[in-house]
Amino acid sequence: MVEAYVLIQTEQGRMDEVVQRISQIAGVTDVDIVTGPYDAIARVAADDIDILGRLVVSQLQTVGGVVRTLTCPVVRL
């Protein structure tokens, strides 16, 4: 199992809509609205890094109102 935090920038005025839609995507375990250069942070989980990448590229990034994402995989040392 691979987990990651995905930082999300949204179009102005669309943050609530984007967070609502992202929270319904399979593999998204949590979404929070934050302040700073990003508008929201989603925690996602997948069976492997390739599936996680496809989740971000084909589902999260295609949500209307998403401008940019930054994926930060969780590392367990």
Give 10-residue mean pLDDT values along the chain (77 residues): 97 96 98 96 97 97 97 95
Q: Rounded to an integer, what distance in angstroms lies between the CA atom of residue 77 and that of residue 56?
A: 24
- Classify each residue of 30-50 as buried b or exposed e, where b means 16 or more C-beta atoms within 10 Å of its C-beta: ebeeeeeebbbbbebbbeeee
pLDDT of res. 11: 97
The whole model's pTM is what? 0.94
pLDDT of res. 31: 98
pLDDT of res. 61: 97
Q: Is 61 exposed, middle or buried (0-12, 13-18, 19+ CB in 10 A)?
A: middle
pLDDT of res. 49: 95
pLDDT of res. 63: 98
pLDDT of res. 60: 97
